[in-house]
Amino acid sequence: MTEINPLLQKFDHPPFKKIKNEHFKPAFEKSLKEARAEIDSIVQNKEEPTFSNTIEALEFSGNQLGRVASIFFNLNSAETNKEIQKIAQEISPLLSEFNNDLLLNKGLFEKIKTIYDNRSQFEYSEEQLMLLEKVYKNFTRNGANLSEEKQERLREIDKLLSITSLKFGENVLAETNNFELHIEDEQKLEGIPDAVKEAANELAKEKGKKGFVLTLDFPTYIPVMKFAENRELRKQMLLGFGSKAFKDNEFNNEDNVLTIAKLRLERAQLLSYQSHSEFVLQERMAKTTDNVNSFLKEILEKSLPAAKKEIEELKSFALKEDNIDDFQKWDKAYYTEKLKQKRFNLNEEVLKPYFELNNVINGMFQITRKLFNLNFEKTDGIEVYHKDVVTYRVYEDDKYIATLYADFHPRAGKRDGAWMTTYKDQFKHKGEEERPQVSIVCNFTKPTKNKPSLLTFNEVTTLFHEFGHALHAMNANTRYPSLSGASVYWDFVELPSQLMENWCYEKEALELFAKHFETNETLPIEYIEKIKESSNFMEGLQTTRQVSFGILDMAWHGLSNLADIDSVKAHEEQAFESTSLLPKIEESCMSTAFGHIFQGGYSSGYYSYKWAEVLDADAFELFKEEGIFDKSTAKKYKENILQKGGTIEPTKLYKMFRGKEPDPKALLVRAGLIPG
């Protein structure tokens, strides 16, 4: 008897317990076949093309394929293995081919074009017009008007890009997993927090080794760089982190970086755009490469003088404290933390006991309840892909609105960083409403035998950031899945996430969750004041760093000619020239592990973090004016930003919420870079 494939059965929540790796490829093959049949039925329909029988039919086609793909690729990020990676390499070209077959389908495009050209003759809703515009542009921006010869080359490029981007990510993960620093002498770990040492000791025991094993996982790497008194240890860790996929081994990403950048440029130019950035930015709030470069330049002009002053301050401090006269990159985090402690008498390790993970989660839920009337009920009744994953049913008052998956701790099968994703988007179809299934994935400090998971303040803000994205997806109230939740312009998508971080600095909010995990004592008021006071500490350096990443992104994607670029390192150094404040490290290269732009969706979009900071600083001004838990402001924000998704152009949405366009000065004032 043939085994039933759970991915091909009707399901609501993903049936993780039943899914085996061998189910994926047959599920993809059958779902692709069904999706192609659905497209064929739209094309072969003899009736006059209408919005309903073409645009909506296309929007709701391939549902099974979408569900299978969301499960598979989310697992490939959060719980991967060699087998899943192998399947990804086999499946990605098939998906790329399907996507090209769809977007280069002449019969389908003719119908879409007819509807688009005659749109003024019908009374469409704003959301319908947005979908029509999006579908039409999707086809024209992906080769529908190209000659057959150029379309064929486009197919080849997309297939190569899908494979190369996957390989890029696999190499970074492999390099992260392969690095370990085995330390037997505990004295070398002087200054490192006990919880980090305890976790490193437990890992060493798991590996059958004495002493401690340090890894590049953020909960280990960042505390080592901030607190390790042993300068050589900091250097070894930084070199390990900075040389990921830049070593002379099978995981080197230099060729992959060049291949991806040059293929993207060729693709854009096939479509008559000068650069990949020009292609991407047409569908962003920023609109043009010049606008992005001007924006980054404007921020840099304000941050760089402050950054130069701050780096000199750190050098003087290191010289005075420890006679360091050759200040290096592996010294920056350590002396920043040391100076911060001295200036504000604020030790990150003193704060951590007040940020126990479960307390922070519960406080975050309370804040959300106060703002949006949302309630989160923990449940064991939803299948998960790993024992660490926690699930919640989310209710608005008493009405179910979403499922939330939360996956908080690092492991070998999970990539670095933090992100929000969905297993199902919200939409309305045939009189039924589908509610979203949302996941936040992080890499926070793991609990040990002696202590629960205690977060750094930076981890607290990261959690609130990803939860802000989740709120965007969970509150969605649109008709079409491709316009739902976080399906918005890329430089608008960070507004909900970055806005949410603001509550981490407010006394009224902190008092809800910042409680000592042993005594239940609320975080003392002097610490709250110090958190607020120190929030702009070294802001010039922090802003310059973020801007430099945006500049590097544009250096890879904003040029109209990459033919002469054959050295990833040299090109990167040229991009960083205006922002580089410390000696270069030959063994280090950022581009080879810059997953945001070479594997994620941030190519020509890294600037959007700062762009959205302008929006969130301006938006939070309103909450501060009206009260951080003001219901009417929260309602206005929910109805105009969170619920609307991509149904309305974002500048218009923002003005509907705020009553005016965003003021860039709000960001610079908040950052302390210009006077208020």
Q: What is the pLDDT of residues 531-546, one digit of tens each?
A: 988 989 999 999 999 9
pLDDT band at 286 (very low <50, low <70, confident <90, very high): very high
pLDDT band at 460 (very low <50, low <70, confident <90, very high): very high
Q: What is the mean pLDDT of the chain?
A: 95
Of 544, 523, 500, residue with least CA distance to 673? 544
Residues designated as active site = 466
pLDDT tens figures, 105-155: 999 999 999 999 999 999 999 999 999 999 999 999 999 999 999 999 999
pLDDT band at 353 (very low <50, low <70, confident <90, very high): very high
pLDDT attached to residue 2: 53
Question: Is the pLDDT at 676 greater than 70, yes or no?
Answer: no
In the chain, % of residues over pLDDT 70: 100
HSE at residue 32, side-chain half, CA atoms within 13 A, is: 19
Mean pLDDT, rounded, for 422-430 = 97
Question: Is the pLDDT at 44 greater than 90, yes or no?
Answer: yes
Q: At what angle do helices 457-474 and 357-372 cross, to 10 degrees?
A: 40
Question: Is the pLDDT at 666 greater than 70, yes or no?
Answer: yes
pLDDT tens figures, 227-273: 999 999 999 999 999 999 999 999 999 999 999 999 999 999 999 99
Mean pLDDT, rounded, for 424-429 = 97
pLDDT tens figures, 309-348: 999 999 999 999 999 999 999 999 999 999 999 999 888 8
Determine how many CB atoms are found less than 10 A away from the CB of residue 562. Answer: 19
pLDDT attached to residue 450: 87
Question: Is the pLDDT at 383 greater than 90, yes or no?
Answer: yes
pLDDT attached to residue 271: 96
Question: Is the pLDDT at 3 greater than 80, yes or no?
Answer: no
CA 88, distance to chain mean position in Å, is 20
Determine how many CB atoms are found less than 10 A away from the CB of residue 627. Answer: 12
- Residue 542: C-alpha distances to residues 271, 283, 291, 609, 621 (Å): 37, 28, 22, 13, 22
Mean pLDDT, rounded, for 54-61 = 98
Q: Which amino acid, one-letter code, is at 390?
A: V
Q: Is 644 helix (H, G, I), strand (E, B) or coil?
A: coil
Name residue 424's beta-bridge partners: 437
pLDDT band at 1 (very low <50, low <70, confident <90, very high): very low
d(CA 332, CA 436): 42
d(CA 26, CA 32): 10
**Domains defined for the chain, CATH in brackets:** 6-145 (1.20.1050.40), 179-242 (no CATH), 268-343+540-598 (no CATH), 353-518+609-670 (1.10.1370.40)
pLDDT tens figures, 198-219: 999 999 999 999 999 999 999 8
Q: What is the pTM of this model?
A: 0.90
Mean pLDDT, rounded, for 375-379 = 98
Helix (H) or strand (E) holding 428: strand 427-429
117: Cβ contacts below 8 Å, ≥ 6 apart:
none
Pairing relationship of beta strands 437-441 and 390-396 according to DSSP bridges: unpaired
pLDDT tens figures, 587-627: 999 999 999 999 988 999 999 999 999 999 999 999 999 99
d(CA 412, CA 213): 14
Can you say whether the dihedral through the CA atoms of 274, 104, 434, 56 is positive or negative? Answer: positive
CA 250, distance to chain mean position in Å, is 27
